[in-house]
Structure 1
Amino acid sequence: MNETALTRVRIVLVEPAGPLNVGSVARVMKNMSLNQLFLVKPHCDRLGEEARLMAVHGIDVLEKSQVVDTIPQALQGCHRIIATTGRSLSLPTHLETPRNALPWLLTDDLNTALIFGPEDRGLNNEELSYAQRFVCIPANSDYSSLNLAQAVAVCSYELYQVAQNPLENTSNPSFDPAAFEALEGYYQHLEAVLLKIGYLYPHTAKARLEKFRRLYNKANLTTEEVALLRGILRQVDWACQDFSSKNK
């Protein structure tokens, strides 16, 4: 494993508000050989004077950064996704330390992403549901909240250390994890079918689907497995249509 693995990791900032933070993130990314920065609906000028001042020699990371409207757009093409959180989740989700979880992003030569939430609130449950694993940075319980740029710095450092250490290659060429867009297509299909058969109702669909996302994200589905699940949904669709036609 080496620094080339770091080039496949996306740092995704959701609705960043401070240009100084964005510039500082670009700088530490440059320090740690990370170069893919995605900004979801930023509330600041990523190329303005304040951001450039803090970026120092990481200005090229700022200039190459991509601005998108939604988290799914930032995650297109990714196979492994980790979200960061600084709070106790209402979800029954296991929180890991950066040191334990982040090496997972650097194995198997896959495109991966690490998501950070807005400075004022962090990621909400809906935003967290796009990730397969969750990281919380251990800190003093009297004051555990880290600045956005500081959180990115801690995680970037851990990624860089993994890339530098001569660890045994843990890649598995036969493993073909499903891409983010394949999973999203399945979740949309699942919602449509479950609404059709009356398992879901429009007013509860969102909350129920978050639970299904957590279930499947923990399974780390392969491309073949997603295709199998989509096949089941297509058969249910066909059976519903056949039943309706026979009862007209």
Structure 2
Amino acid sequence: MYSFCLSHLHVVLVHPAIAGNIGAIARVLKNFDVNSLILVNPTSYLCREALNRATRAKDVLYKAYIYSSLKEAIAPFSYVVGTTARKRYKKISLSPREIAPFLTAISQENEIAIVFGPERTGLRNMDLELCQAIMTIPTSKYSSLNLAMAVGIVLYELFGYAQKGSVSYKLSRLATSKQIEAMYAHLMTSLSKIGFVLGGEMGHTYRVLKRLFNKIPLTENDVKVIRGICHQIDWYVENH
């Protein structure tokens, strides 16, 4: 039986604008044995407000990783979960409790990123498109949560499952986000050469195929097979 490997869990904050929230989130991470905080274009996060809110979790702030884009930030991770309160988003959304067993299986041999959006707007659709799964915290009709509260609820549920829950299987090494995005770029180029376009434009084709492939996590070998097919298409077009 396998328990959640919390050392393989990473929290990503996109454009966090309130220093106090970042400090409070650092404290939450430490509460639940998660030590990796990743910030995308944050406000100043080593100011007095953030450090005071972090209290004994200042070390989490000091070693936070900083990136200029979400795509760059999630490149090393094999499974990326985006969070949203919006019910209108096209992907199926799971609660933290519902997704915990699946993430447990993934966490055995893979690094997982949980992505949270800006305080005011949340993640954009284009950000959510970069994620393999979507998570929504169940609430009443008023679904707006403070960012630090949202991170706390998600980590509480996953930590709780790590303490009491387990799964009987694990998923082998998956392809990283960077490898998958390179596969999509190659696939779009190859399909355009043979005129395979859904809905009249390649952007729609990309979104349809991404939703298709996101239904099953792709291994590194899966990506190699798909890119091998692309190489064969490229060769055929160039030689006929």
1:2-81 map, 5 Å: 5-42=5-42, 44-81=43-80
Equivalent residues, number: 236
Seen in structure 2, the aligned counterparts of structure 1 residues 204 and 57 have a Cα distance that, compared at 3 Å, is farther
1:100 partnered with 2:77: no
Gaps of 5+ in 2: none
The CA deviation string for residues 159-214 of structure 1, in whole angstroms up to 9 with x for no partner, is 11111125355325xx332222221110111122233333349x943343122211
Q: Which runs of 4+ in 1 moved over 2 A?
A: 102-109, 166-172, 194-201, 203-208
Superposed, 1:136-215 pairs within 5 Å as 136-141=136-141, 143-165=142-164, 167-172=166-171, 175-200=172-197, 204-215=201-212
Superposition CA RMSD, Å:
1.9
Give the whole-Å Cα distance in 2 for the aligned partners of 1:137 and 1:104: 17
Q: Is the 8 A contact 1:15 1:118 kept in 2?
A: yes
TM-score normalised by length of structure 1: 0.88
Q: Report if the CA contact (8 A) 1:16-1:117 is conserved.
A: yes
Q: Aligned residue for 1:129?
A: 129
How many Å separate the matches in 2 of 1:52 and 1:206?
43
Identical residues among aligned pairs (%): 35
**2: distance between equivalents of 1:166 and 1:220?**
22
Residues 7-55 of structure 1: CA deviation (Å, up to 9, x unaligned): 211101111111111111101001111111111111x111111111111
The one-letter code of the counterpart of 2:126 is E
Q: In 2 relative to 1, CA 166–148 (structure 1 residues): closer, same or farther, beyond 3 Å?
A: closer
**What is the TM-score of this pair, normalised by structure 2?**
0.91
State the distance in 2 between where 1:166 and 1:218 align: 24
8 Å Cα contact 1:85-1:122 kept in structure 2: yes
Q: How far 1:89 sits from its partner (Å)?
A: 2.7
**CA apart distance, 1:2:** 5.6
Give me the whole-angstrom Cα distance separating, in 2, the residues matched to 1:95 and 1:184: 22
Where structure 1 has 5 or more consecutive residues not aligned to the other structure, the ranges are 244-248
Distance in 1, Cα, partners of 2:53 & 2:208: 40
User: What is the CA–CA distance in structure 1 between the aligned matches of 2:8 and 2:167, rounded to whole Å?
Assistant: 19
Distance 2:58 2:226 in 1: 44
Shift of 1:73: 1.8
